[in-house]
């Protein structure tokens, strides 16, 4: 596997991930106190969409392209679309903003953002793409950054862990670093992306994630049988009520992806503990 950002920018997994990230940061911005954002595998930040894939497949055509101009009446989707148009002011889809630029566009005065990228050339490009933004870029290991920057002084925020999964052993450092991060900053919102490729890989990773705490899984599943079959997000400490808000996002997308991806399904699975808590609350007077 190799899901380096530059090879897959603007595909349906990016749309999935960035809609959730947009919803999370919008939710945090409902309160006036500042929030913190940490991107552990930030990439280059901004990607031209012409001939991105070495295999000649432009994945954005079945990802960001269908949603770019679609008339969708949902506040999260509209905010995401406004971000896309901010980076494509000619109303032609020419480039795609990665996670650090999405977060920077949503940040308010006083919010603090840190992006880490291990590859020096990519970190330098990221600095250039964020030259006018409020993001501090560090060329360092993303997992080590979890120990360096947590807990944040803001005491609330989002941590995005989106590694390239160049090896099946990627989950080992991910789980070790995430376990330490949760111990240091237990109330942070952790967003971990993984590809939906091998079912055994996905189920194994999720079993291990469930041992670390209350986690919600948000899936975008397609009918594909090869390549990237789906996009998975594991969210620790998903804010109360946001699952319902995201469900409205998925409903608003309707059938706009049916012609490009085939049948798609959005699945949200909360931890058993959260589901039990919900039942108990309903029983209270």
Count of H-run helices and E-run strands, the chain: 12, 10
Active-site pick, 39, 162, 198, 247? 162
Q: Name the token pair of 167.
A: 């090896």
Query: d(Cα 174, Cα 192) in Å, to the nearest integer?
Result: 9
Backbone φ and ψ for 46, nearest 5 degrees, come out as -145, 135
Query: d(Cα 236, Cα 74) in Å, to the nearest integer?
Result: 24
Backbone φ and ψ for 127, nearest 5 degrees, come out as -60, -40
Beta partners for residue 137, in sequence order: 115
Query: d(Cα 102, Cα 72) in Å, to the nearest integer?
Result: 19
Q: Which of 234, 268, 255, 262 is nearest to 70 (CA)?
A: 255
- Annotation says 39 is catalytic: no
Q: Which of 123, 215, 159 is nearest to 36 (CA)?
A: 159
Active site residues: 162
């Amino acid at each position: 596997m190799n899901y380096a950002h530059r090879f897959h920018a603007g595909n349906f997994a990016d749309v999935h991930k960035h809609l959730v990230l947009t919803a999370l940061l919008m939710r945090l911005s409902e309160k006036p106190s500042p929030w913190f954002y940490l991107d552990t595998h930030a990439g280059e930040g901004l990607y031209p969409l012409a001939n991105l894939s070495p295999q000649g497949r432009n994945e954005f055509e079945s990802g960001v392209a269908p949603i770019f101009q679609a008339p969708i009446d949902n506040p999260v989707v509209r905010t995401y679309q406004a971000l896309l148009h901010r980076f494509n002011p000619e109303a032609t889809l020419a480039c795609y903003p990665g996670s650090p630029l999405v977060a920077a566009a949503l940040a308010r005065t006083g919010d603090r953002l840190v992006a880490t990228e291990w590859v020096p050339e990519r970190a330098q490009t990221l600095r250039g793409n964020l030259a006018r933004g409020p993001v501090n870029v560090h060329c360092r290991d993303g997992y080590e950054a979890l120990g360096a920057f947590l807990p944040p002084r803001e005491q609330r925020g989002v941590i995005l862990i989106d590694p390239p999964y160049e090896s099946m052993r990627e989950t080992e450092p991910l789980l070790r670093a995430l376990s330490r991060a949760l111990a240091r900053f237990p109330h942070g919102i952790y967003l971990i992306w993984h590809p939906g490729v091998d079912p055994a890989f996905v189920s194994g990773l999720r079993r291990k994630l469930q041992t670390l705490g209350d986690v919600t899984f948000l899936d975008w599943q397609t009918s594909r049988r090869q390549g990237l079959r789906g996009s998975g997000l594991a969210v620790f400490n998903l804010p109360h009520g946001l699952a319902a808000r995201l469900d409205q996002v998925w409903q608003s997308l309707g059938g706009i992806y049916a012609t490009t991806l085939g049948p798609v399904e959005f699945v949200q699975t909360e931890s058993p503990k959260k589901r039990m808590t919900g039942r108990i609350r309903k029983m209270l007077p």
